[in-house]
């Protein structure tokens, strides 16, 4: 593609989903977009190391230093504008974005969530807690969902889903790993490509 869309990936932790995106770009799964920036709200996120290894520019923004949510989101907006970002991917980003931010990027922010929405989603459902709840409920099938982001946590339109079967021996940790490997790392890159292709 002559003019790939510029992608910013927002991260807070280890960056395994970021790595899946970097690999997908290198393997030609993502060809309509290019990861042009990695943004973190955690200075110690290993995801920043992954970005540096892949020669992707990084930015760290501290909400407290920026005077709270408003200052943080304004700083985000100016960085994204400066870099000419077309699409934002939330990949384990542990900060809820307000309507003041999301309304400026309608259908331009996507997130991966480790369950089949509308199950085990919304406020407070992130990380291992999602898998703990799935096991407590005794569901037989879980999975991952990629969706557009609006002001409601996990509330935007669904782009892609993939199911993962639960094993009787599963712990939250083994389930988390399998959902990542079998679902998140597969549908996130595909969704990024799909959305980039459609962006004007």
Catalytic residues: 113
Question: Can you tell me the distance from the alpha carbon of 175 to that of 4, in angstroms, rounded to the nearest whole number?
Answer: 35
Q: Are 72 and 61 spatial neighbours (Cβ–Cβ below 8 Å)?
A: yes
103: its two tokens = 């309304």
Query: What is the phi/psi pair of residue 39, to 5°?
Result: -115, 135
Residues whose CB is less than 8 angstroms from the CB of residue 54 and which lie 6 or more positions away in sequence, other chains included: 22, 35
Query: What is the phi/psi pair of residue 166, to 5°?
Result: -90, 135
Place of tokens 């549908």: 187
Question: Can you tell me the distance from the alpha carbon of 91 to that of 2, in angstroms, rounded to the nearest whole number?
Answer: 26
125: its two tokens = 């459902």
The Cα-based distances of 24 to 17, 38, 176 in angstroms read: 10, 16, 21
84: its two tokens = 């000419």
């Amino acid at each position: 593609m002559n003019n790939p869309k510029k992608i910013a990936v927002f991260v807070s932790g280890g960056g395994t989903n970021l790595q899946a995106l970097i690999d997908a770009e290198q393997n030609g799964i993502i060809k309509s977009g290019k990861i042009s920036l990695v943004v973190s709200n955690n200075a110690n996120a290993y995801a920043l190391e992954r970005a540096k290894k892949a020669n992707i520019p990084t930015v760290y923004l501290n909400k407290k230093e920026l005077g709270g949510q408003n200052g943080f989101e304004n700083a985000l907006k100016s960085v994204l504008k400066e870099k000419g970002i077309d699409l934002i991917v939330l990949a384990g980003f542990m900060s809820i974005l307000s309507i003041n931010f999301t309304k400026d990027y309608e259908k331009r922010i996507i997130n991966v969530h480790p369950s089949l929405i509308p199950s085990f989603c919304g406020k407070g459902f992130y990380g291992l807690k999602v898998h703990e709840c799935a096991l407590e409920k005794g569901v037989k099938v879980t999975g991952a969902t990629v969706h557009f982001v609006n002001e409601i946590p996990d509330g935007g339109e669904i782009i892609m889903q993939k199911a993962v079967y639960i094993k009787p021996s599963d712990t939250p940790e083994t389930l988390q790993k399998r959902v990542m490997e079998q679902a998140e790392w597969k549908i996130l890159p595909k969704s990024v490509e799909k959305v980039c292709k459609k962006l004007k």
